[in-house]
């Protein structure tokens, strides 16, 4: 907003006073997440934005823990109600008026699906299709959200690791881990006979194979990340947990729906300026087991319209994809934690600039390494113009 003031010299001197904006950064946890999923990450991000963006009041909030079961649509309704109520309260309290609060949605894992579907719902249900979007969402940042599904290697590596743990438990014996053969007691009260490794592995494989297909590997991958083995009662409880929530997680197997969702988000960015980015966990090769980088999620296909919306978040210390996924928001489990914060802040800053009408290159596209010139000068020039340093 511009204000004019007269100078003491009798002339007029223009002074500019920018109206302070309100930015709400909303974090949404994923499947079976809690209010503690993000740790100190929201506070750090709030501090970075407050210190690096002028004329803005920043508030980071975590959407209260919700049940990740049943229809995703029902979760969308609950979140939309909560967000609209929050937006009205903050806009009234700030005195800025309706439509003045800018909002960034940050969803981890399945929380990114909830954020995406909520954004699409807000866009498609506007009373006036030519009117502005309210709540005024300016960006959606997803953290390791499986927009195209879980990477098949997550299941494969999880089952492999579980088998290794089973063999390890057999080798170590009941003195340390309890009776693996019994597979039921909370604590072994007496030494158990040494089980046959081949038989045990075969029995485990017979159970593990069908379960991996039935549950999408979620239960097995959790077992791989969580401990050496699960006892019988814990397996039964885990199976019931997975079954109870299968309907919610079932969205990951709806391939046409997954494609349609991402295409919709890309279209919303083009038409409404809502920045869409996904920061996905990327683990380095680990010879001799893994020759290439590993990811928790399936990435867009070559030539996809969403290819540039997916940015790698490197983690060099996570043992596997599951640990990388669940440990994104802690420096103890992610050596790329601080860079994750800086990249997130850059995306938000770019979105704020765009919302202020300061339009430049496409916000926060992936940084590309310089390549040796092998094509025509015009092609090389075109590529260089698209490079944006984070």
What are the residue boundaries of the structural domains of the chain, listed by start? 18-149+254-385, 152-250
Mean pLDDT within 148-171: 59
pLDDT bin (cut points 50, 70, 90) of residue 84 is: very high
pLDDT at 68: 63
Cα 243 off chain centre by? 23
Q: How far apart are CA 221 and CA 114, in angstroms?
A: 23
Query: Cβ distance 363 to 354 under 8 Å?
Result: yes
Measured between its terminal Cα atoms, the distance across the chain in Å is 29
pLDDT bin (cut points 50, 70, 90) of residue 99 is: confident
pLDDT bin (cut points 50, 70, 90) of residue 371 is: very low
Checking if the pLDDT of 168 tops 50, the result is no
> CA 75 → CA 81, 91, 139, 140, 310, distances in Å?
10, 24, 20, 17, 25
Model confidence, pTM: 0.69
pLDDT at 5: 40
> CA 122 → CA 33, 90, 223, 271, distances in Å?
24, 18, 38, 14
Mean pLDDT within 167-190: 38
CATH of 18-149+254-385, one of 3.30.310, 2.60.40, 3.40.50, 2.40.50: 3.40.50
């Amino acid at each position: 907003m511009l204000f004019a003031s007269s100078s003491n010299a009798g002339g007029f001197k223009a002074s500019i006073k920018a109206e302070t904006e309100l930015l709400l950064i909303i974090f949404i946890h994923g499947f079976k997440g809690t209010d503690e999923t993000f740790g100190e990450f929201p506070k750090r991000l709030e501090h970075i934005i407050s210190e690096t963006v002028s004329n803005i009041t920043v508030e980071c909030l975590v959407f209260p823990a919700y049940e990740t079961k049943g229809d995703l649509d029902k979760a969308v309704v609950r979140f939309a109600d909560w967000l609209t109520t929050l937006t009205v309260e903050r806009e009234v309290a700030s005195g800025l008026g309706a439509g003045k609060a800018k909002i960034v949605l940050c969803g981890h894992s399945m929380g990114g699906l909830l954020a995406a579907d909520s954004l699409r719902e807000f866009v498609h249900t506007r009373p006036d299709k030519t009117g502005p979007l309210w709540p005024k969402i300016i960006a959606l940042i997803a953290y390791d959200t499986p927009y195209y599904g879980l990477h098949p290697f997550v299941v494969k590596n999880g089952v492999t690791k579980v088998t290794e743990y089973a063999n390890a438990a057999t080798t170590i014996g009941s003195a340390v881990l309890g009776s693996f053969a019994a597979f039921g007691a909370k604590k072994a009260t007496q030494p158990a006979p040494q089980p046959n490794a081949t038989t045990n592995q075969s029995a485990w494989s017979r159970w593990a194979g069908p379960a991996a297909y039935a549950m999408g590997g979620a239960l097995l991958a959790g077992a791989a990340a969580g401990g050496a083995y699960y006892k019988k009662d814990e397996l039964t409880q885990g199976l019931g947990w997975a079954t109870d929530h299968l309907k919610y997680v079932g969205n990951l197997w709806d391939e046409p729906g997954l494609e349609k969702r991402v295409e919709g988000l890309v279209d919303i960015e083009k038409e409404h300026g809502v920045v869409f980015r996904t920061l996905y966990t990327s683990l380095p090769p680990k010879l001799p087991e893994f020759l290439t980088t590993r990811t928790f999620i399936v990435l867009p296909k070559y030539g996809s319209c969403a290819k540039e919306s997916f940015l790698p978040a490197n983690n060099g210390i996570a043992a596997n994809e599951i640990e990388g996924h669940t440990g994104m928001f802690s420096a103890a489990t992610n050596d790329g934690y601080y860079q994750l914060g800086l990249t997130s802040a850059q995306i938000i800053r770019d979105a704020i600039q765009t919302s202020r009408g300061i339009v430049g290159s496409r916000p926060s596209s992936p940084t590309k390494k310089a390549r040796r010139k092998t094509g025509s000068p015009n092609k090389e020039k075109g590529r260089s113009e698209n490079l944006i340093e984070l």
